[in-house]
């Protein structure tokens, strides 16, 4: 199944840390939108230079609940949320992708508004365990304002990232559909390629088939070794473009709150062409991926499209 494959950027937090920006213990890179805007802008520019088609706003941890728990005001939360889109937009405006102006058929650079789950806001690793539950109204209250704010700032699509619970995704996708906002959905998955809440990827795909705003479905923040199994499951259940944004051979251990270095293959020249066979709409990187990883993927995608 043929789809235009876009290339998303990679990690934000580790690039900020390399630039000397300390991460907040619960809000991670989100506070950098208030305190280190220039550093966030520089990371966005580095991914444009690497050849990304899609920039993700650094708003994954921007939630009113999370900011309030960390002692920030609601106005500060809204400022961070808006700054996330504005900085990505500024990067897009001042630095075009190399050679892009010479490509008559080039896709314009897109900005996707990244948001995480209730589990991410809890900052206890439950975005990987689904060890929380809320009512439909509570999920709506958690997601509604920030989705509408991001949309009002002009994002091209909403990116629901590292989502462990199908019930929560259905609510968030419904909010986006009510304002006609294109939405890409990425689940966190277990070692057997299921959602942490127990649903299969096939069940998730079937449930989301009623949403006409969903433009892609897939997984992120997982091992590269899990991508083929996840893509096989999804391709058997949906015709939507698929999404694969793995980590760079590192695994987050939520109970220990640390990264463990993995040993699986990270040769993008082997991995990415294999993924493309599934009909990918979006590929790129998640945690610990760097601009050089995105540049490597860019070369592979360009080579594949020229054949």
Taking CB atoms within 8 Å and a gap of at least 24, the contacts of 265-269 are 265/224, 265/225, 266/224, 268/293, 268/296, 268/297, 268/300, 269/296, 269/300
Angle at the Cα of 113 from the Cα atoms of 119 and 174, rounded to 5 degrees: 70
Higher pLDDT, 255 or 78: 78
Choice between 210 and 3, residue whose per-residue pLDDT is larger? 210
**Lowest-confidence pick of 101-105, 173-177, 251-255:** 101-105
* 35-68: pLDDT as tens digits: 999 999 999 999 999 999 999 999 999 999 999 9
Say whether pLDDT at 96 is over 90. Answer: no
Q: What CATH number has the domain bearing residue 42? A: 3.20.20.330
Q: Is the pLDDT of residue 251 over 90?
A: no
CA distance 284 to 234: 18
Judge contact between 191 and 159, C-beta under 8 A: no
Cβ-based neighbour number of residue 239 at 10 Å:
11
Q: What is the pLDDT of residue 105?
A: 43
Q: Is the pTM of this model over 0.75?
A: yes
At residue 183, does pLDDT exceed 90?
Answer: yes
Number of H helices, E strands in the chain: 12, 10
Model pLDDT for residues 66-94, shown as the tens digit of each residue: 999 999 999 999 999 999 999 999 999 98
For residue range 271-300, what is the model confidence (pLDDT) as tens digits? 999 999 999 999 999 999 999 999 999 999
Tell me if 109 is assigned to some domain.
Answer: yes
Domain count, the chain: 1
- Domain extent, residue 50, equals 6-305
Tokens of 248: 């760079």
CA nearest to 190, candidates 160, 229, 243: 229
Residue 119 lies in a domain: yes
Mean pLDDT of 181-205: 97
Residue 281: inside a domain, yes or no?
A: yes
- Among candidates 214, 159, 211, 163, which has minimal Cα distance to 187? 163
Q: What is the largest CA-CA distance in the chain?
A: 54
Q: What is the mean pLDDT of residues 1-8?
A: 80
Query: Is 161 domain-assigned?
Result: yes
Mean local confidence (pLDDT), 99-104: 47
Q: What's the burial of 148, exposed, middle or buried (CB within 10 Å: 0-12/13-18/19+)?
A: middle
Residue 216: phi, psi to the nearest 5?
-175, 150
The answer to the question of residue 228 being in a domain is yes
Q: pLDDT for 102-127, tens place per residue?
A: 443 456 899 999 999 999 999 999 99
Query: What pLDDT is attached to residue 262?
Result: 60
**Confidence at residue 299, expressed as pLDDT on a 0 to 100 scale:** 96
Rg (alpha carbons) of the chain, rounded to whole number: 18
Where does the pLDDT of residue 248 fall: very low under 50, low under 70, confident under 90, or very high at 90 and above? Answer: confident
Give the per-residue pLDDT at 305.
74
Query: What gap in Å lies between CA 187 and CA 162, rounded to an integer?
Result: 5
Buried residues in 161-175 as b, exposed as e (16+ CB within 10 A): bbbbbbebbbbbbbb
Q: What was the pLDDT predicted at 161?
A: 98
Rounded-to-integer distance, Cα 57 and Cα 217, Å: 18
**pLDDT beyond 60 at 306:** no
Look at residue 224 in the predicted model and tell me its pLDDT.
93
Any domain includes 1: no
Report residue 249's pLDDT band, with 50, 70 and 90 as the boundaries: low
Q: Is the pLDDT of residue 265 over 60?
A: no
pLDDT of residue 162: 98
Question: Phi/psi of residue 187, each to 5°?
Answer: -95, 150
Under 8 Å between Cβ of 218 and 244: yes
């Amino acid at each position: 199944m043929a789809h235009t494959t876009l290339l998303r950027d990679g990690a934000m937090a580790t690039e900020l840390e390399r630039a000397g920006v300390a991460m907040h213990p619960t809000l991670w890179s989100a506070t950098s939108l208030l305190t280190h805007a220039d550093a966030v802008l520089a990371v966005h520019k580095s991914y444009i230079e690497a050849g990304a088609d899609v920039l993700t706003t650094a708003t994954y941890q921007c939630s009113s609940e999370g900011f309030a728990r960390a002692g920030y005001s609601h106005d500060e939360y809204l400022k961070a949320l808006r700054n996330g889109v504005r900085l990505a937009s500024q990067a897009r405006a001042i630095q075009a992708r190399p050679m892009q102006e010479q490509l008559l058929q080039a896709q314009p650079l897109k900005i996707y508004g990244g948001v995480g789950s209730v589990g991410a806001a809890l900052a206890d690793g439950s975005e990987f365990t689904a060890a929380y539950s809320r009512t439909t109204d509570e999920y709506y209250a958690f997601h509604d304002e920030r989705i509408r704010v991001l949309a009002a700032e002009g994002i091209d699509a909403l990116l629901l990232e590292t989502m462990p619970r199908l019930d929560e995704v259905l609510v968030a996708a419904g909010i986006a559909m009510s304002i006609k906002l294109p939405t890409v959905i990425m689940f966190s998955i277990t070692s057997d390629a299921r959602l942490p809440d127990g649903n299969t990827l096939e069940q998730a795909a079937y449930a989301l088939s009623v949403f006409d705003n969903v433009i892609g479905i897939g997984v992120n923040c997982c091992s590269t070794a899990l991508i083929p199994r996840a893509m096989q499951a999804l391709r058997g259940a949906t015709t939507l473009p698929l999404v694969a944004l793995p980590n760079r051979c590192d695994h987050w251990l939520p109970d220990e709150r640390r990264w463990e270095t993995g040993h699986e293959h990270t040769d993008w020249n082997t991995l990415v062409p294999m993924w493309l066979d599934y009909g990918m709409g979006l590929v790129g990187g998640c945690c610990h991926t760097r601009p050089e990883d995105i540049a490597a993927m860019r070369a592979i995608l360009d080579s594949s499209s020229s054949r």
